[in-house]
């Protein structure tokens, strides 16, 4: 017996934009059939009325340990990365397992309601008790039935800035972190930065983990650790398991160097993550005019067929006090600041918060709307992916591993040119704005 059938949903091809109306059968959490007109029946059947079916959103870069702390103990008045690190240094003296878990769980539920079912979170492991890491590892197993989490052991203060940090990073891997992090541009010297990248690769090999390095998140055009990451990946032939996050300095490199580097990146085949919401605000703070946009070369990486995804990075914390966690907000900002406004480019930005993120996280068969895979998908009241980015609407349904974990009824606005609105049923000259927007 089939548990659930989703009737008359619409799938759209990324390549051709052709759409097809289909039914999806779900049994024991997996997709068992996809067909234009399934003959079987199920105990639960939902008519999707030709709404868009999509793979879920993937949050490939967020710091769940610091979410929802904006203003604690003070606001970031300069708006810089480095003031953010100082404020977090003060705030993290007061963190507890309960504090981190409560805030992170609130965020995960908010993300799930917005169609995110896969999250890679960084956990600051520069703090001697490893509280953030312990909290996020506990949460990873507690939410696994509806949310897939990857935890990065992230040495926020640098691996070599303090004698204990190298030990803490390795301990975090022994405790079960999925991914090894790094922050070479924040090490005390260029030499320490290079050494830190090598250390990250050594640990990843020793513990068989993925790599995600905060790399060159600075406007300094001399910050060139991306070439070090690429070189290590080329030598070790493990590019698909490696991610360079931020790489904002790549936006400031001279073209002669950037073009040479792009060739090495193609050899390395590493993944990239850009965080347009936060980096448009953090970067360029030392500029007068023109002010730089603070993002990496997203369009050029995409044009060179390299895998790039978008992350939210921070939500209401010392580095970014705004945000709701929506990946469509992220894609929308990416469209703007990366000059990705062409039809194919907007569709590509949608892929940067869905399939490209899945590739970065090495999700393999856990991701995608296909027979045999987990029934994890979202339903959007949008014509196509372009429309979804444009409207940034919340999903009507979020289905995780076969269960409907969130359902949203869209808000309806009534408009009356006479200025007389009594109630929706008695309006004669009103239109429903939700049909127009
Ligand atoms: Fe980050």
Our CA angle for 363, 29, 22, nearest 5°, is: 90
Q: Hey, which residues are catalytic here?
A: 217
Backbone phi, psi, residue 35, to 5°? -155, 155
Q: Count other Cβ atoms within 10 Å, centred on residue 64.
A: 30
Instruction: Assess whether pLDDT exceeds 80 at residue 427.
Output: no
CA 275–ligand 1 middle distance (angstroms): 8
pLDDT digits (tens, 9 = 90+) for 128-183: 999 999 999 999 999 999 999 999 999 999 999 999 999 999 999 999 999 999 99
Alpha-carbon distance 346 to 19, whole Å?
A: 17
pLDDT of residue 435: 39
Instruction: Assess whether pLDDT exceeds 90 at residue 352.
Output: yes
Alpha-carbon distance 114 to 204, whole Å?
A: 32
**Whether 90 contacts 147, CB under 8 Å:** no
CA 114–ligand 1 middle distance (angstroms): 21
pLDDT of residue 162: 92
Going by pLDDT thresholds of 50, 70 and 90, the confidence category of residue 424 is: low
CA 359–ligand 1 middle distance (angstroms): 18
pLDDT digits (tens, 9 = 90+) for 43-52: 999 999 999 9
CA 395–ligand 1 middle distance (angstroms): 26
Going by pLDDT thresholds of 50, 70 and 90, the confidence category of residue 15 is: confident
pLDDT digits (tens, 9 = 90+) for 172-211: 999 999 999 999 999 999 999 999 999 999 999 999 999 9
Backbone phi, psi, residue 153, to 5°? -80, 105
pLDDT of residue 1: 85
Q: Which region among 92-96, 235-239, 254-258, 379-383 has the lowest average model confidence (pLDDT)?
A: 92-96
CA 274–ligand 1 middle distance (angstroms): 9
Alpha-carbon distance 419 to 376, whole Å?
A: 44
């Amino acid at each position: 017996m089939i548990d659930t059938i989703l009737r008359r949903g619409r799938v759209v091809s990324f390549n051709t934009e052709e759409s097809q109306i289909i039914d999806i059968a779900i049994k024991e959490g997996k997709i068992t059939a996809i067909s234009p007109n399934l003959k079987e029946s199920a105990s639960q059947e939902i008519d999707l009325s030709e709404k868009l079916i999509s793979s879920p959103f993937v949050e490939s870069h967020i710091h769940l340990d610091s979410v929802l702390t904006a203003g604690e103990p003070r606001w970031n008045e300069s708006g810089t990365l480095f003031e953010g690190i100082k404020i977090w240094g003060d705030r993290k003296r007061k963190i507890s397992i309960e504090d981190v878990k409560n805030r992170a769980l609130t965020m995960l539920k908010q993300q799930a309601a917005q169609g995110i079912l896969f999250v890679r979170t960084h956990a600051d492991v520069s703090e001697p008790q490893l509280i953030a890491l312990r909290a996020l590892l506990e949460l990873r197993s507690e939410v696994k039935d509806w949310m897939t989490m990857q935890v990065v052991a992230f040495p926020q203060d640098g691996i070599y800035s303090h004698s204990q940090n190298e030990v803490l990073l390795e301990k975090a891997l022994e405790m079960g972190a999925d991914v090894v992090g790094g922050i070479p541009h924040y090490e005390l010297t260029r030499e320490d930065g290079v050494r830190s990248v090598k250390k990250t690769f050594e640990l990843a090999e020793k513990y068989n983990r993925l790599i995600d390095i905060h790399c060159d998140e600075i406007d300094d055009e001399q910050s060139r650790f991306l070439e070090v990451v690429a070189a290590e990946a080329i030598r070790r032939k493990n590019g698909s398991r490696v991610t360079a996050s931020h790489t904002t300095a790549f936006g400031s490199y001279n073209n002669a160097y950037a073009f040479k580097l792009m060739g090495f990146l193609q050899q390395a085949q590493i993944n990239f993550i850009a965080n347009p919401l936060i980096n448009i605000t953090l970067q360029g703070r030392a500029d007068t005019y023109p002010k730089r946009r603070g993002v990496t070369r997203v369009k050029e990486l995409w044009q060179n067929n390299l895998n790039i995804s978008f992350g939210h990075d921070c939500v209401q914390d010392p580095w970014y006090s705004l945000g709701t966690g929506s990946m469509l907000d992220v894609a929308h900002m990416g469209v703007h600041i990366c000059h990705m406004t062409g039809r194919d480019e907007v569709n590509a930005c949608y892929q940067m918060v869905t399939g490209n993120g899945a590739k970065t996280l090495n999700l393999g068969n856990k991701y995608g709307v296909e027979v045999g895979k987990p029934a994890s998908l979202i339903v959007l009241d949008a014509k196509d992916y372009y429309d979804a980015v444009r409207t940034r609407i919340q999903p009507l349904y979020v289905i995780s591993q076969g269960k409907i974990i969130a359902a949203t009824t869209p808000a309806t606005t009534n408009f009356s040119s006479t200025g007389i609105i009594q109630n929706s049923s008695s309006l004669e000259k009103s239109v429903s704005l939700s049909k127009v927007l």
